[in-house]
C-alpha cells in the first residue's frame, strides 16, 4: 500500500508529548507521597512524555522524534521566561497573592533548568535505545524496547533532574529517596502502560502505513534538518 503524502497524526503525538512536559514542570514544585514513595507531583504526567517519545520513535523514527524533543525544549524555555516576567511584574494594589505566586512560580525556573538538562539527556537516550534495539531485534519484542529504553532514559532523567532541582533544598538522604522513588515509579508506569502502547503503535502503523527502521541514521542530537 502506498503511504499518503505526509503524516496525519505525527504532530498530534508530538504536541501531546510537549504538553506533558510543560504540565509536569509546572506541578513539579509540589512534592507528594504515594505509599512509601516521595517524589515531585510531575510523576503523574511526565512519564506520558516518554511513552509518546517511544511511540514516535517506533512509528516515525529517531529523526522525527529528535525534532519534537527540541521543540519541547524550546517550549519549556519560553514557558520559563514568561513565568519569570509574570513574577517580576508589579502586582495590582488590590491583589494580595504575590507571595504565594512567587513561592510557586519563583521556584519554577530552577525546576525548568533541571528539566532542560534531564529532558534532553533522558529523552535522547530513550529514543536512541529504542531505535537501536528495533534495528537489532528486527522489529520484534516491542515490550523489551519500550521498557528497556525507559530504564535507561528515565534513570538518567531522574538522576539529573533531582540533583539539579533539589540539591541543597532537601537533605541528601531525602534526595536519594526521591531519585529512587521517581525511577521505580516511572518504570512501573511504563510497564503498566505497555498494553496501551502496543495498541496505539499498532493503530498508528496501520493508519500512517509507516513502520520506520533507523538504518544508517545519524544519532547526533545536535543534527538539525
Domain positions in the chain are 10-90+99-208
Quick one: pLDDT at residue 2? 45
Cell of 22: 510543560
Quick one: pLDDT at residue 41? 85
Quick one: pLDDT at residue 89? 93
pTM for this entry:
0.86
CA 218 → CA 10, 64, 210, 221, 224, distances in Å?
Answer: 20, 12, 20, 8, 10
pLDDT in tens, the chain (225 residues): 444 457 899 999 999 999 998 998 888 778 888 777 777 788 889 889 889 999 999 999 999 999 999 999 999 889 888 988 998 999 999 999 999 888 877 766 777 788 789 889 999 999 999 999 999 999 999 999 999 998 899 889 888 988 887 788 888 888 888 788 778 888 888 889 999 999 999 999 999 999 999 999 999 999 876
**The CATH number of the domain covering residues in 10-90+99-208:** 1.10.1760
Encode 13-31: b = buried (16+ Cβ within 10 Å), e = exposed.
bbebbbbbbbbbbbbbbee
Quick one: pLDDT at residue 4? 44
Quick one: pLDDT at residue 152? 92
Amino acid at each position: 500500500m502506498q503511504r499518503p503524502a505526509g503524516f496525519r497524526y505525527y504532530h498530534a503525538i508530538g504536541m501531546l508529548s510537549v504538553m506533558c512536559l510543560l504540565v509536569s514542570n509546572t506541578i513539579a514544585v509540589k512534592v507528594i507521597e504515594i505509599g512509601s514513595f516521595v517524589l515531585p507531583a510531575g510523576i503523574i504526567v511526565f512519564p506520558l512524555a516518554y511513552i509518546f517519545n517511544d511511540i514516535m520513535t517506533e512509528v516515525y523514527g529517531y529523526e522525527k522524534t529528535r525534532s519534537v524533543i527540541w521543540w519541547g525544549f524550546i517550549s519549556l524555555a519560553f514557558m520559563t521566561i514568561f513565568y519569570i516576567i509574570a513574577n517580576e511584574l508589579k502586582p495590582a494594589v488590590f491583589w494580595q497573592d504575590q507571595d504565594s505566586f512567587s513561592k510557586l512560580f519563583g521556584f519554577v525556573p530552577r525546576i525548568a533548568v533541571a528539566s532542560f538538562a534531564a529532558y534532553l539527556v533522558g529523552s535522547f537516550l530513550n529514543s536512541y535505545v529504542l531505535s537501536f534495539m528495533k534495528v537489532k531485534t528486527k522489529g520484534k519484542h516491542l515490550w523489551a524496547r519500550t521498557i528497556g529504553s525507559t530504564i535507561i532514559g528515565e534513570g538518567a532523567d531522574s538522576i539529573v533532574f533531582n540533583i539539579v532541582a533539589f540539591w541543597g533544598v532537601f537533605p541528601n538522604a531525602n534526595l536519594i529517596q526521591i531519585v529512587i522513588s521517581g525511577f521505580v515509579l516511572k518504570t512501573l508506569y511504563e510497564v503498566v502502560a505497555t498494553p496501551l502502547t502496543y495498541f496505539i503503535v499498532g493503530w498508528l502503523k496501520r493508519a500512517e502505513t509507516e513502520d520506520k527502521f533507523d538504518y544508517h541514521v545519524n544519532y547526533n542530537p545536535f543534527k538539525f534538518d
